[in-house]
Structure 1
Amino acid sequence: MNQEALILFNLAEALGIGLLIGAEREQRMSQTDVKSSAGIRTFAITALLGAVAQLTGGVALLAAAVLGVVLLAGLAYWRGRAENVGLTTEIALVMTVLLGGLSVTQPLVAAGVGVVMAVLLASRAYLHNFVRSVMTEQELRDGLMLAAATLVVLPVLPNQTFGPYAVLNPYLMWSVVIMVMVISAAGHVAARVYGAQYGLAMTGFASGFVSSTATIRDMAGRVHKIPAQLLGAGAGALLSSVSTVLTMALVLAATSLATLDAMAQPLLVGGLVAAMYAAPWAIAALRAPPTLAENVPPGEAVTPVVQTRAISLRAGLAFSVALAAIMLASTAVQQEFGPNALIAAAALAGIVNTQSAAISVALMVGSGQIAPQDAVLPILAAISTNTGMRVALAATLGGAGFAGRVIPGLLLGLAATWAAVFLPVTIPLWG
Structure 2
Amino acid sequence: MLQIGALSAEQVGVVVALGAGMLIGLERERRKGEGPQRQSAGLRTFMVAALLGVCAQIVSVALAAVALLGVTVLAALSYLRSRSDDPGLTTELALVTTALIGMLAVPQPELAAAAAVLLASLLAARERLHHFATHWLSEDELHDGLLLAALLLILLPLLPAQSLTWLGGLSPRRMLTLLVVILAMQALSHVAQRLLGSRLGLPVSGLLGGFVSSTATITAMGGRVRSGQTPLQLACSAAVLSSAATWMQVALMASVVVPGGLLEWLPMVLVGVAAPLVIGVLLWRRASATAPGGLPPGRRVLRLREAATVGALLIAGAVVVNLAHQRGDLGLMLGTGIAALADAHAPMVALMSMSGTGLIGHDAAMSGVLLAITVNSATRSVAAWVSGGRVYGLVVAAALGVNVALVWAWHWG
Q: Same fold (TM over 0.5)?
A: yes
> Given the alignment of the two structures, is residue 341 of structure 1 paired with residue 292 of structure 2, yes or no?
no
Structure 2 counterpart of 1:189, from 185, 188, 191 = 191
| Structure 1 pair 29–407 and aligned structure 2 pair: CA distance change class (3 A) | farther
Distance 1:253 1:409 in 2: 27
Corresponding position of 2:155: 153
* Cα distance, 1:90 vs structure 2: 0.7
Residue among 283, 286, 295 paired with 1:284: 286
Q: Indicate the residue corresponding to 2:393 in structure 1.
A: 403
Asked whether the 8 Å contact 1:266–1:418 carries over to 2, the reply is no
Q: Secondary structure at the match of 1:337?
A: coil
Cα 1:19–1:358 change in 2 (3 A) is farther
Q: Is the 8 A contact 2:226 2:388 kept in 1?
A: yes
The one of 359, 362, 373 equivalent to 2:352 is 362
Tell me which residue corresponds to 1:179.
181
Of the structure 1 ranges 27-36 and 261-270, higher mean CA displacement relative to structure 2 is found in 27-36
Counterpart among 37, 41, 44 of residue 41 in structure 1: 44
Equivalent position SS for 1:308: coil
Evaluate the alpha carbon distance shift between residue 19 and residue 197 of structure 1 in structure 2; reply closer, same or farther with a 3 A threshold.
Answer: farther
User: Which whole-Å CA distance do the structure 2 matches of 1:154 and 1:233 have between them?
Assistant: 36
Deviations 1:116-139 (CA, angstroms, capped at 9, x unpaired): 222222222111111111111011
Q: Is 1:195–1:304's contact at 8 Å kept on the other side of the alignment? A: no
Task: Decide whether the 8 Å contact of 2:221 with 2:235 is kept in 1.
Answer: yes
TM-score norm. by structure 2 comes to 0.90
**Offset, 1:348:** 2.1
For 2:205 and 2:34, the matched residues in 1 are separated by: 39
The aligned length equals 410
Moved >6 Å (runs of 4+): 30-34
Q: CA deviation at 1:260?
A: 3.1
What is the CA-CA distance between 1:162 and the residue it aligns to?
Answer: 4.6
1:33-62 Cα offsets, whole Å, 9 max, x none, are 97322222222221121111111111x211
Shift of 1:308: 2.4
Q: Offset of 1:12 from its aligned partner? A: 1.6
Aligned residue type for 1:143: G
Supply the AA of the counterpart residue of 1:330: V
Matches within 5 A, 1:32-111: 35-58=38-61, 60-111=62-113
State the partner residue of 2:295.
Answer: 303
Aligned-partner residue type, residue 271 of structure 1: V
Alignment of 1:250-289 (within 5 A): 250-285=252-287, 288-289=288-289
Change (3 A) 1:372 1:17: farther
CA offset at residue 184 of structure 1? 1.6
Normalized against structure 1, the TM-score is what?
0.86
Q: Indicate the percent of aligned positions where both proteins have the same amino acid.
A: 35
Deviation at 1:368, TM superposition (A): 2.7
Q: Which residue is equivalent to 1:211?
A: 213
How far apart are 1:110 and its partner, in Å? 2.5
Encode CA deviations 1:46-82: one digit per residue, 9 max, x unaligned: 1121111111111x21111111011111111112143
Look up the match of 1:385.
375
Preserved CA contact (<8 Å) 2:211 2:242: yes
One-letter code of the match for 1:308?
R
Offset, 1:196:
4.3
For residues 206 and 329 of structure 1, do their structure 2 counterparts lie closer, same or farther at Cα, with a shift above 3 Å needed? closer
Is this contact kept in 1: 2:212–2:307, CA < 8 A?
Answer: no
Q: What SS does the aligned partner of 1:104 have?
A: coil
When structure 1 is superposed on structure 2, of 272-281 and 392-401 the one drifting more is: 392-401
Q: 3-state SS of the aligned residue for 1:309? A: coil
**Please, which runs of 5 or more residues in structure 2 have no aligned partner?**
none
Q: Give the counterpart letter for 1:375 in structure 2.
A: A
